[in-house]
Amino acid sequence: MDFQQVFGKPSETKASAPGRVNLLGEHTDYNDGFVLPTAIPQCTTVQLGFSSDSQHHFYSENLNEQVSISDINRNPSGFASYIFGCIEVLQKAGYTIPSLCVYVQSSVPIGSGLSSSAALEVATLRAVRQLLKLPIDDIEIAQFAQQAEIHYAGVQCGIMDQMASSLADTEHILFLDTRTLERRVMPLPEKAEILVIDSGVPRTLASSGYNQRRAECEEAARSLGVKALRDITGTEVTEKLPEPLRRRARHVVTEDNRVLEVLQGVSSERFGELMNASHASLRDDYEVSVPALDTLVELLQKTPGVFGARLTGAGFGGASVALVAAGEARSIATHVLEQYKQAGYIGQILVPSLELSDAA
C-alpha cells in the first residue's frame, strides 16, 4: 500500500533521516559528556499530506497499521507515539500544525540500539518543516525530537541519537559535546570500516534500566557537588562514592576520557583498544550488557582484522559495533556469526547493509 492507496490522494512532501551507530561514548550524553556516533545507511522516510478531517492519521508500512488521533485517542502507543509527540512538541513551541496524513516506511532495524525512534522523529520533523516552511534549523530539529522522546515515549534520553540522526552522515564520525552542542566532523579511522552485528537478543528492561542508570548518575553528581559527571575528570574522586554509584560514575568518567583521547587523533589500533575498554566498562561498571552481547563482542575481539568491538546503544540486548580492517567486514561477520551460532545464538549483520547493497 502506498500513500495514495492509504489516504486516497498523493502526498505533498517527504523527508528521510538515518539511524545511527555510536562508536564510543556510551551513557555519557545525559551526563553532559562526549559522544562519537555516525549515521548508518538504513533510514526512515516520512511522507506527508493534509488530512481532510480534523484528525491526524498515521500509517506504518512496516507494520501495516493505521492509527488515527481523535479526542478520545490522544495517547497513542508504538510508532504513532513518536509522530504525535513531534507534532505536540511543535504545537507547544507555538507552531500551528494542521491535521496531517503521515505515511512511514523504514529500513532502520527496530530494537537493536540503532535509534529507529530518533530516525522516525527527525524524519517527521523534517517533513513537517518542509510542508509548513517552518523556520527551524537542524539543531532545533534534534532538540524537538529529544523532547518528543522524553515526553511521549517515556525514555529520559540524552541528545546523542537525535543529533546524530539530524547532523551525521555515513562517511564521518560526529564528535559532539552534549553540554555545549559543540561539534566536530571527523574522518573514520584509517583503513577501517564499521561492522554492526545484532545479537538477536531484543532489548529488555531497556527503558526502566536506562532511567535507573540515569537517576544513579544524577545522584552521584549531586553527592560529588557537580552539575553533571562530565565535570569530573579523574577517577580518584569517584572512588569515594558508595556502590553502585562508584562504578556507575567510574564508567562515565573513563568513557568521557576515551572519547577525548580519540579527539586528539589516534590510530585504528588504538581506537579499537578504546572500544574494547568501553565494552569492559559497560559490562562490569555500568552493568548494561547481557551474556549474548558479551559472547558476540568476545568473538569479534579475537578475530583477526578486528581492531576492537563493543556493545552499542543503551545495552540490555541489541547490537554490537566493531571497527575492522577496510574491506573485511563481511568475511569477518560470516566467521563470527558461525561461531556465535555454535555458542547457541543467532545473530545478524546489519552494517554493511546486505539488503541495501543488494537493492542498489
177 binds ligand GLA (CB under 6 A): no
- Least distance from ligand GLA to the Cβ atom of residue 37, Å: 9
> Whole-number minimum distance, CB 26 to ligand GLA, in Å?
4
128 touches 48 (CB < 8 A): yes
- For position 255 contacting ligand GLA by CB under 6 A, the verdict is no
Q: How far is CA 30 from the centre of its chain?
A: 13
Q: Which of 11, 17, 29, 36 binds ligand GLA (CB under 6 A)?
A: 29
Catalytic position from the list 32, 161, 256, 285: 161
Applying CB under 6 A, which of residues 6, 7, 21, 30 lies at the interface with ligand GLA? 30
Contacts of 119 (CB under 8 A, 6+ apart): 17, 18, 19, 20, 42, 43, 44, 106, 108, 165
In angstroms, what is the minimal distance from the CB of 48 to ligand GLA? 25
Coil vs helix vs strand at 147 = helix
Which CB, 160 or 337, lies closer to ligand GLA? 160
Piece of 20-28, 40-48, 240-248, 290-298 that binds ligand GLA (CB under 6 A):
20-28
Among the listed ranges 27-35, 59-67, 244-252, 322-330, the one in contact with ligand GLA (CB under 6 A) is 27-35
Q: Which long-range contacts (CB under 8 A, 24 or more apart) does 181-184 make?
A: 181/139, 184/263
Q: State the minimum distance, in angstroms, from the CB of residue 288 to ligand GLA.
A: 8
Identify whether 161 is a catalytic site residue: yes
Residue with cell 492509504: 6
Site for ligand GLA in 152-171 (CB under 6 A): 157-158, 160-161
Name the residue nearer to ligand GLA (CB basis): 221 or 314: 314
Q: Is 33 in the site for ligand GLA (CB under 6 A)?
A: no
Binding flag, residue 216, ligand GLA (CB under 6 A): no
**Rounded to the nearest whole angstrom, what is the least distance from the CB of residue 353 to ligand GLA in the complex?**
20
Strands (E), the chain: 13-22, 34-35, 37-50, 56-60, 65-69, 100-106, 172-177, 183-187, 192-198, 306-311, 319-325, 348-351
For 276, the 3-state DSSP assignment is helix
Size of the site for ligand GLA (CB under 6 A): 11
Q: What's the grid cell of residue 130? A: 518542509
Establish if 279 lies at the interface with ligand GLA (CB under 6 A): no
* E runs forming strands in 51-90: 56-60, 65-69
- Which residue number, 87 or 160, has a Cβ lying nearer to ligand GLA? 160
- Closest CB 74 distance from ligand GLA, rounded Å: 24
* CB nearer ligand GLA, residue 27 or residue 57: 27
**Is 37 near ligand GLA (CB under 6 A)?**
no
314 interacts with ligand GLA by CB under 6 A:
yes
Rounded distance between C-alpha atoms, residue 183 and residue 13, angstroms: 30
Listed as own residue / partner, the contacts of 89-92 with beta carbons closer than 8 Å and 24 or more positions apart are 89/144, 89/147, 89/148, 89/151, 89/152, 90/125, 90/128, 90/134, 90/144
Could you tell me if 159 and 118 are in contact, meaning their C-beta atoms sit under 8 angstroms apart?
no
What SS3 class is residue 93?
coil
Is the C-alpha dihedral spanning 271, 277, 280, 286 positive or negative?
Answer: negative
Q: How far is the CB of 146 from ligand GLA (least distance, A)?
A: 8
Residue nearer to ligand GLA on the CB measure, 11 or 42: 42
- In 3D, which of 1, 103, 106 has the Cα closest to residue 57? 103
Return the number of the residue (7 or 210) whose C-beta is nearest ligand GLA. Answer: 210
Site for ligand GLA, rule CB under 6 A: 22, 26-27, 29-30, 157-158, 160-161, 313-314
The residues that are catalytic are: 161
